[in-house]
């Protein structure tokens, strides 16, 4: 629900349309049809057989509530929105939707305690596999600044710079570029490049130099610089998948993963 609210808010800022997708997990439906499938009540502790038709009914009910929530949020923000139900494997359906969209937005937490405190399995798979822009959100229901940009000098980093700058202007919020490189000298060169590019384009961006540390330090640096949102290149030689996943897991606010294609 936080992802829904934030996505509609972002769509209003970018004058974009929103497509809501509810995925009926085909694996769940198949599992419910197995003769030995059962469930344990969270309150009663009692074991009972799973009724496949009840599972389908619950999915339809959840889809209806999701549709209503999207409609209400879109009306409040005067955003054009549509909604569809898909049946398949969740990750595959989301990646297919991303291939036909500019941005995929989803909550980064799952239903387990560990996932709520970190990164859910669906968000983890999407972050590792996606080739487009992905916005991952926790319980924070607003996309707001200040914004931290993690720039590594890669094509995706340049694209992230453009996206963060545009978002900073539209949200009227400051942007700080954390220029990440293997050495302090390389980080200084990158910071000079980013600062020069921002000045020529009329962007008000601050630059901070940092060598590549672990993901927890990058998330901490973003918070130290007052960021409520991070824009980060999805793939690069410097920011490995492991580092990117760590930033997504450890940062409390929205994280926008930017691919290098326009």
Instruction: Look at residue 83 in the predicted model and tell me its pLDDT.
Output: 92
Task: Give the residues across from 87 on adjacent strands.
Answer: 24
Architecture of domain 147-258: 3-Layer(aba) Sandwich (3.40)
Burial class (CB in 10 A: 0-12, 13-18, 19+), 183: exposed
Instruction: Look at residue 140 in the predicted model and tell me its pLDDT.
Output: 61
What pTM value is reported for the model?
0.76
What proportion of the chain, given as a percentage, has pLDDT over 70? 83
Provide mean pLDDT across the span 205-216: 76
Whether the predicted pLDDT of 4 surpasses 80: yes
Q: Where are the domains of the chain?
A: 17-101, 147-258
Distance from CA of residue 63 to its chain's centroid? 21
């Amino acid at each position: 629900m936080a992802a829904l609210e934030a996505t509609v808010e972002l769509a209003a800022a970018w004058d974009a349309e929103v497509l809501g997708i509810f995925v009926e997990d085909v694996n769940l439906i198949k599992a419910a049809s197995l003769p030995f499938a059962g469930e344990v009540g969270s309150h009663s502790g009692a074991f009972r057989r799973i009724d496949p038709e009840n599972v389908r009914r619950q999915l339809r009910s959840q889809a209806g509530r999701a549709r209503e929530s999207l409609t209400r949020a879109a009306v409040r923000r005067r955003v054009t929105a549509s909604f569809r139900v898909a049946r398949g494997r969740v990750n595959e359906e989301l990646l297919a939707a991303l291939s036909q969209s500019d941005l995929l937005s989803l909550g980064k937490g799952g239903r387990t305690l560990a996932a709520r405190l970190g990164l859910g399995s669906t968000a983890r798979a999407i972050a590792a596999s996606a080739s487009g822009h992905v916005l991952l959100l926790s319980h924070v229901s607003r996309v707001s600044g200040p914004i931290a940009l993690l720039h590594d000098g890669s094509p995706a980093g340049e694209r992230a710079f453009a996206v963060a700058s545009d978002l900073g202007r539209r949200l009227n919020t400051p942007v700080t570029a954390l220029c990440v490189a293997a050495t302090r000298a390389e980080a200084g060169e990158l910071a000079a490049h980013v600062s020069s590019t921002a000045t020529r384009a009329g962007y008000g961006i601050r630059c901070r130099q940092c060598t590549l540390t672990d993901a927890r330090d990058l998330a901490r640096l973003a918070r130290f610089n007052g960021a409520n949102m991070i824009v980060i290149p999805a793939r690069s030689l410097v920011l490995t998948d492991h580092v990117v996943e760590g930033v997504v897991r450890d940062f409390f606010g929205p994280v926008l993963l930017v691919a290098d294609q326009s």
